[in-house]
Amino acid sequence: MKRVKHLLASTIIFLLTMNGNAQNNAFSVRVVGEGEPLLFFPGFICSDEVWEEQVAELSKEYECHLFTFAGFGGVAPIEFPWYPKVEDAVLDYIKENNLENATAIGHSLGGTLALSLASRQPLFKKLVIVDALTATGALMFPNYNPDNMVYDSPYNNQLLEMGQDDFSKMATGMASGMTTNKEKQGQIIEWMEKADRKTYVYGYTDYLKVDLREQVGKIKIPVTILAATQPFGEAMARQTYQEQYKNLSNYELKFAEGAAHFIMYDRPEWFLNELKSSLQ
């Protein structure tokens, strides 16, 4: 199928059916604008609306493919393991739509996804990675071993059994550390509350199993990394990124001073300018 070049409306929804006749959809895609293709991969629990301000501008010159992954943003959940199915389905979408020379822009889990795809095959022209690591689990757990990340754990079971009120309180606390933008904290809380609970729990376990620290050495295209400085400051953030990306040979690391994880919310003008600069 040829890549969509002309849109009859401002957006089109593509639903990719996984595994031949399977009826599970690993994601939805909105396509906005015309021009060179950009693939936008959101972070965990986010819908494609996370890119709204940037896409409003970039869609004037680019064809923007905006993904929302299964279990989040109103997209129905899929069977587990969640992350491998999402990654394989995205790869199929890229090939079926002749998007092998697109630029991939990914935030958090979406950035890790972009790195993984680029390390598997020469799919992209360049990557823009937004506050994402090669192995988030290695940052969170001493003596990290991906094999130890399992679905059946006391923490996961606690999250699955947690009542909605307690879950909302947890979401509120987490959102306050993800962005300094009070209004946008409400959006993050809403995404978390509406997420499919099993996808939220087991999907994150899948994410923690991903370790690309060695694998990124296979990536030869230009990579721009836009990183937050909060909550621990630029010096510690720089040390973390340099350690996580030490096997990636061709990358540029830039810091959004004062921004937390959702850089697009905390430093929107800076973020848009950096995206435009990276795309030139």
Q: Where are the domains of the chain?
A: 12-136+212-279
pLDDT at residue 1 greater than cutoff 60: no
CA torsion 240-130-208-162 (nearest 10°) is 120
Distance CA 2, CA 163 (A): 46
Whether residue 12 is predicted with pLDDT greater than 50 in this model: the reply is no
pLDDT in tens, 60-103: 999 999 999 999 999 999 999 999 999 999 999 999 999 989 99
pLDDT of residue 100: 86
Q: What is the pLDDT of residue 20?
A: 33
Confidence (pLDDT) at 8: 34
Residue 78 and residue 61: Cα distance in Å, rounded? 34
Q: pTM to 2 decimals?
A: 0.92
Q: What is the pLDDT of residue 17?
A: 33
Q: Is the pLDDT of residue 245 over 90?
A: yes
- pLDDT for 158-209, tens place per residue? 999 999 999 999 999 999 999 999 999 999 999 999 999 999 999 999 999 9
Contact in structure between 245 and 216 (CB atoms under 8 Å) = yes
Q: What is the pLDDT of residues 115-150, one digit of tens each?
A: 999 999 999 999 999 999 999 999 999 999 999 999
Counting residues of the chain whose pLDDT is more than 90, the rounded percentage is: 90
Q: What is the mean pLDDT of the chain?
A: 93
Neighbouring C-alpha atoms within 13 Å toward the C-beta of 6:
1
- What per-residue confidence (pLDDT) applies to 4? 41
Name residues whose C-beta falls within 8 Å of residue 47's C-beta, 6 or more positions apart in sequence: 68, 72, 73, 74, 191
pLDDT value of position 243: 98
Helix (H) or strand (E) holding 16: strand 12-17
Query: Which CATH class, in words, describes the domain spanning 12-136+212-279?
Result: alpha beta
Phi, psi of 159 (to 5 degrees): -65, -40
Please check the confidence at residue 14 and state whether its pLDDT lies above 50: no
Is the confidence at residue 16, as pLDDT, over 50? no
Q: What is the pLDDT of residue 18?
A: 32
Looking at per-residue confidence, does 5 or 253 come out higher? 253
Beta-ladder partners of 223: 127, 251
Q: Which of 109, 130, 124 is nearest to 270 (CA)?
A: 130
- pLDDT category at 225 given cuts 50, 70, 90 is very high
Q: Has residue 23 got a pLDDT over 90?
A: no
DSSP string, 91-155: HHHHHHTT-TTEEEEEETHHHHHHHHHHHHS--EEEEEEES--S-HHHHHSTT--GGG--SS-HH
Report the relative pairing of strands 124-130 and 102-107 from DSSP bridges.
Answer: parallel
Helix (H, G, I), strand (E, B) or coil at 57: helix
Amino acid occupying residue 122: P
Strands 36-41 and 25-32, bridge-based pairing: unpaired
Does the pLDDT value for residue 48 go beyond 90? yes
pLDDT at res. 257: 98
